[in-house]
Amino acid sequence: MHLEPSCCLLSIQAVRTQLSSTMKYTTGLGDAPELPQKFTFNPKIGIDNPALVISDDTEPDVRPRLCLLNRGEGEGFGFSLRKEKGCRGHMVQQVTPWSPAQRSGLQDGDRVIEVNEDFVDNQEYEKVVLKVQASGSQLFLLVLRAEDYELAMCEGMDLMAMVRAHKGDCARPRLCHIIREPGSGLGLSIIPVNGERGKYYLNPVSEGSAERAGIQAGDRLLWINGVMVSTLTHSALAKMVKNSAEYMTLMVIDSRSEESYAHRRLPILPAFAGVHNLPHRPKTLQLVQGPQGYGFLLRQEKLASGRIAHLMREIDPCSPADVAGMEDGDLLLAVNGEQVEKSEHEDIVSRIRQSGQQVTLTTISIQGRDFYSQLGFSPLLFYEQTIPKRERFPELTLSRKDVHTKLRGPRLCVLHKEDTGFGFNLAYVQNKAGTYVGQVAVGRAGEGAGLKEGDVIVEVNEQNVEGQHFAEVLRLIKNAGTTLRLLVVERAGYETLRKSGFSINTGIISCSIQVPDSTQDYFV
């Protein structure tokens, strides 16, 4: 049996004593030296020395497990998600017998680390609930047992690094929205993989529409406008591309990550994807009640598509709703981080009234809701905006002094260039000024500096770019050298600040309001 030296803690003095008692030498000329006694080591009893200690100094064996939940039409997932005061993480409780949760192996006390391949241990509770609610019929959870989670916290383990090690070299798939441009079209070629039916890789034109939408050379094409390409013949795929009018939405992945998903025996679904340049993103409106209320009417209407929706109407000028950026005809998706599209109208009104002086609404335009319906998933699936924590305060209106504390204000992000660049992509709306952050690479310079997907870029190295088009902003960033200073504002805060007439600069860097966590419980 071989033991590494680090496995034994042996007293030096004890060793010396042991050696002196087992090895006898004489110095007389007539005496022959006695040979040392044989030195034996028995790992069970040591070397007859009570000071010998064998220690298993190993890393704690903390392993996450994947739970795949499949639910039927009108069925819940069958578990409760809890956030406790003063505790990190999201706890599973009340797993219902015979439910999708129990069939997947989910257990009471499990801590949710990822939802649909998205790390959520450090995310707001409301945001995690929305991700679960918007998952559709399938939900993929990466979880830790309660005791493993507590051990990881006590040992100071990096859970995100642990998850990366669990997955190996794997990046999430990407949803890319490509806008067809006059003369140059979509700017990419779709090439069949030799000998592999239903598999294609992409080759974007340099500086073309596809490359700006986030397509990279060699990407594998998985999904187009809501249809998996593996179900399409080559001629059907070519016809779909040709008939796409103004835009096309693709799901792609690099070949190495595709192999990783295959090795883990996981399907590659839109719910796993990061997004780049998707239009019609939902927005968060944080309303503070004024003397006349919130200043809007919530009305239930039947849309042209036949869908029953809850719409914002009759928005009063200069009211809290108007200041927050609400627009007539916006469709309500969630109240205080809880999905309400399928709720009864009276229940939604009651929730808003019970919110007191402050309510957080998640909305989208009707056109945007139709766009996501055509793609076959909820817009909340890729909703990345921060849901503000609720607080109570006496102010009835927003003043110039407090507008930056009630809303997310500007942030200065300093990025240091790496071998692979700054670690983020740019996005824009066609034929409009203004550029925002698209995909942010995990573990790269952009994420480390605090960039968030959807952030509006206000300044590049202290130069205001609000009125500049995409190409000029891209040029400034490419010429920035090794250090890049970006002044950014999350989209909802940017729109509100602009409507309020505030000048956005580094002099009004955002400060956060800290409020106590409370125990929250939501059954899904």
pLDDT of 425 > 70? The answer is yes
Contacts of 405 (CB under 8 A, 6+ apart): 511, 513
Same fold, 283-382 and 403-508: yes
Tell me which CATH homologous superfamily contains domain 283-382.
Answer: PDZ domain (2.30.42.10)
Q: What is the mean pLDDT of residues 156-181?
A: 85
Of 196, 202, 226, residue with least CA distance to 214: 202
Arithmetic mean of pLDDT over the chain: 77
Of 171, 184, 193, residue with least CA distance to 212: 184
Q: What is the mean pLDDT of residues 221-236?
A: 87
Of 442, 409, 406, residue with least CA distance to 424: 442
Tokens, residue 427: 């996005």
pLDDT of 417 > 50? The answer is yes
pLDDT of residue 46: 45
pLDDT of residue 391: 39
Q: Which of 21-30, 264-273, 292-301 has the lowest mean pLDDT?
A: 21-30
Measure the CA–CA gap between 199 and 391, rounded to whole angstroms: 51
Q: What is the CATH number of domain 65-167?
A: 2.30.42.10
pLDDT of residue 106: 93
CATH architecture of the domain formed by 174-263 = Roll (2.30)
Q: Domain ranges in the chain?
A: 5-54, 65-167, 174-263, 283-382, 403-508
Are 297 and 314 a contacting pair, CB within 8 Å? yes
pLDDT of residue 41: 47
- pTM, two decimals, is 0.58
pLDDT of residue 125: 84
Backbone φ and ψ of 84, nearest 5°: -105, 150
Tell me which CATH homologous superfamily contains domain 403-508.
Answer: PDZ domain (2.30.42.10)
Q: What is the mean pLDDT of residues 55-74?
A: 76
User: Length of the chain, please?
Assistant: 524
